[in-house]
């Protein structure tokens, strides 16, 4: 039986070169919107075009003009990255909860009713953990993804799901922390870091029906660096321990040399040992300086006053429905 309260859930979808998958995504979102209407839930779609070079934004604008779904279309002035696109989308979301999902259809829209049902039952944080990966990911992607998830669990969030996740639902309370967070703070990691207990749903990750992944090795490394240096002090602690170990070793070696000198048993030192020591210590110093530089850069980036992203075009949906 329908209630007098209509809830609104915002679906935040960052877009970057997804023109091929958008028509099918629109169709499936409309089907899901009709399904959740029976749960007294209105679906709002917030698309954030992160500087796509294709016709993605034109397709979104056309969908907005004809779709029964409430649609907000945002276009950024250039590519600012998926994290910043998500943060922008959360700032435009008007629902009592928001779902973050990808536009490549590897985050199935059909998961939305189950996630919303959990939210209506009182769960403020719902994640969809991948129970399987597709063969198209390849051996290298599988290994690096597993290593990434293991490192996150080991160094940052012990309760991080072993299979990893991207698609998640957060209520208004968590949304406020995510949209106002520091730069390069990944929403999925931050939501777990906040301490909210996630309700985990499992799904088999489908193959990508259109195009190829633009998640390159360079982007993967950059993402891991942002997560590692943004959430963990482990690198600086490791650098401190290595520095202390080297200092202790140097002191012990100095004592040995001094004793040999005082006893008269010293010999003319060889250049090979000297060259190895100098090159090893120089490399260690550069590594430690690089670790420090990673943290210093993030401090500078945070206090520089630059915006996370610049909105070039905004096409707003209708006035929100009261929750």
Q: For the segment 24-34, what is each residue's pLDDT rounded down to a tens digit?
A: 999 999 999 99
Handedness of CA 309, 313, 319, 323 (dihedral sign): negative
Q: Are strands 41-49 and 70-76 parallel, antiparallel or unpaired?
A: parallel
Q: Which residues pair with 177 in a beta bridge?
A: none
Q: Report the pLDDT value the prediction gives residue 35, as an integer from 0 to 100.
A: 94
Q: Report the pLDDT value the prediction gives residue 137, as an integer from 0 to 100.
A: 59
pLDDT band at 47 (very low <50, low <70, confident <90, very high): very high
Q: CA 116 to CA 114: how far, in whole Å? A: 5
- How many C-beta neighbours within 10 Å does residue 310 have? 13
Q: Are strands 41-49 and 97-100 parallel, antiparallel or unpaired?
A: unpaired
Q: What is the pTM of this model?
A: 0.80
Q: For the segment 200-211, what is each residue's pLDDT rounded down to a tens digit?
A: 998 887 776 666
Q: For the segment 97-117, what is each residue's pLDDT rounded down to a tens digit?
A: 999 999 988 899 999 999 999
Q: For the segment 252-306, what is each residue's pLDDT rounded down to a tens digit?
A: 777 776 777 677 666 655 555 666 677 777 778 888 888 888 888 888 877 888 8
Q: For the segment 4-41, what is each residue's pLDDT rounded down to a tens digit?
A: 567 999 999 999 989 999 999 999 999 999 999 999 99
């Amino acid at each position: 039986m329908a209630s007098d309260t209509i809830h609104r859930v915002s679906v935040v979808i960052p877009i970057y070169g997804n023109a091929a998958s958008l028509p099918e995504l629109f169709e499936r979102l409309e089907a899901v919107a009709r399904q959740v209407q029976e749960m007294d839930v209105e679906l709002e779609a917030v698309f954030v075009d992160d500087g796509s070079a294709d016709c993605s934004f034109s397709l979104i604008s056309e969908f907005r003009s004809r779709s029964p779904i409430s649609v907000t279309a945002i276009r950024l002035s250039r590519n600012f990255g998926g994290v910043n696109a998500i943060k922008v989308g959360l700032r435009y979301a008007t629902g009592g909860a928001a779902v973050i999902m990808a536009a490549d259809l590897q985050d199935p829209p059909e998961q939305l009713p189950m996630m919303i049902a959990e939210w209506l039952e009182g769960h403020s944080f719902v994640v969809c953990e991948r129970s399987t990966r597709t063969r198209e990911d390849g051996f290298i992607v599988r290994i690096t993804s597993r290593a990434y998830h293991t490192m996150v669990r080991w160094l940052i969030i012990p309760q991080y799901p072993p299979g990893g996740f991207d698609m998640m639902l957060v209520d208004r309370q968590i949304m406020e922390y995510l949209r106002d967070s520091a730069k390069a703070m990944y929403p999925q990691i931050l939501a777990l870091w906040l301490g909210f207990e996630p309700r985990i749903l499992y799904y088999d990750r489908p193959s990508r029906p259109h195009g190829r992944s633009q998640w390159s090795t360079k982007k993967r490394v950059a993402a891991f660096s942002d997560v590692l240096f943004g959430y963990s002090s482990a690198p600086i602690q490791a650098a401190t321990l290595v520095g202390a170990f080297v200092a202790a070793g140097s002191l012990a070696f100095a004592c040995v040399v001094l004793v040999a000198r005082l006893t008269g048993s010293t010999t003319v030192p060889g250049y090979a040992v000297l060259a190895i020591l100098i090159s090893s210590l120089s490399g260690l110093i550069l590594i430690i300086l690089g670790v420090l530089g990673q943290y210093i850069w993030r401090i500078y980036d945070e206090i520089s006053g630059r915006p996370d992203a610049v909105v070039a075009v905004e096409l707003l949906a209708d006035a929100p429905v009261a929750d």
